[in-house]
Amino acid sequence: MSASVHVERHGAVQVVTFDRPAVRNAFDRQLAEGVCAALDELERDDRLSVGILRGAGGNFSSGMDLRAFLRGELPEAGGHGLLGLVGRNRAKPLIAAVDGYALAAGFEVALACDLIVAAVDARFGLPEVTRSLVPAGGALLSLPRRVGLGVVYELALTGQPLDAARAFDLGLVSRLAPSGASLEPALELAGTIASNGPLAVEAIRAIIDRQRDWPREEFWQRQASLSDPVQGSADAAEGARAFTEHRSPVWRRA
């Protein structure tokens, strides 16, 4: 694992920390390779159900390391684009725990996650245009799917930041946390997700993620291709049995 990335396990939850606080966790290739390796592990290990991305030192990330950019270095890895994340086909949910700034590529990484938990004083933004750059790490794809186009145009064309309260009102942020304390509620949210049937979690996430591109008349058939195997699984039977027996279920991913 990269020296600029710290990885911990909290039960079935993997916490990946960007650890370059001196540069507000700006992304370089070494950090990207470390995050990519951690996400490979998350997808591969059946003991892990949910991932959290966060930054050390009070900020999520200020974006791409421009000094590395001037050396011709991009924060991409594994053939999956930015941080080995934004172009990845993944099964397990990811939560961004955002303290401080999530700017430029940092905001794009947060948007590539399924859920965002943010401190009340967090700030989000796409300032690339102010440096004659384009936010090409996925924001222009994911942001219009989450908020209205007026908001997208404002953020992308002005480069001005968005505060956490407005991001929450727009539905970009699912939970607000006290200043500097996004990790604890992110762990609570991740733990709740991880306690549920993993086959069902992955199928639900896949349906939500993919249905945007499904023709309406094909929705039920395509949903059934993902949901039917779960409904007929041993885990589904275990969930029903545990309910009737007033106990916690024991999931087997089968």
Active site residues: 108, 128
The DSSP bridge partners found for residue 103 are: 125
Whether 42 contacts 80, CB under 8 Å? no
Strands 5-10 and 101-103, how do they pair? unpaired
φ, ψ dihedrals at 204, nearest 5°: -60, -45
171: helix, coil or strand?
Answer: coil
197 vs 18, 187, 203, 227, CA distance in Å? 29, 18, 10, 13
Other Cβ atoms less than 10 A from the Cβ of 1: the count is 13
Distance CA 7, CA 248 (A): 28
Q: What type of residue sits at position 34?
A: G
Handedness of CA 175, 210, 50, 31 (dihedral sign): negative
